[in-house]
Amino acid sequence: MKESYDVEKPVSRWSVFGSVVMILAGLLAIVAPLETSIRIVIILAWILIFNGIGHLIAAFRFKSLGNLVWDLLSAIVNIVIGLYLVLNPTLGLAPLTFVVAVLFLLNGIFEFSFYLKVRSTPRSLGILLNALLSFILGCLIFQHWLSSTLWSVGTIVGISFLLGGISRLALTTGTHRVHKAVA
Q: CB neighbours of 28 closer than 8 A, spacing ≥ 6? A: 36, 158
**How many angstroms separate the Cα of 117 from the Cα of each of 3, 24, 25, 141, 157?**
9, 27, 27, 28, 25
pLDDT value, residue 84 = 92
pLDDT at residue 153, rounded to an integer:
79
Exposure string of 154-171, with b = 16+ CB inside 10 Å and e = fewer, is bbbbbbbbbbbbbbbbbb
Question: pLDDT tens-digit profile of 135-145?
Answer: 998 898 888 77
Residue ranges for the chain with pLDDT beneath 70? 1-11, 62, 148, 174-183
pLDDT score recorded for residue 21: 94
Task: Report pTM.
Answer: 0.62
Say if residue 180 is exposed, middle or buried (CB neighbours under 10 Å; 0-12, 13-18, 19+). exposed
Scanning the chain, the segments in alpha helix (DSSP H) are 13-31, 33-59, 65-87, 93-118, 125-143, 149-182
pLDDT at position 66: 73
Please state the domain extents for the chain.
12-182
56 and 94 Cβ atoms separated by less than 8 Å: no
Of the candidates 101, 85, 98, 94, the residue with the CA atom closest to the CA atom of residue 47:
85
Q: Give pLDDT, residue 4.
A: 47
pLDDT at 87: 94
Separation between Cα atoms, residue 10 and residue 162, nearest integer Å: 23
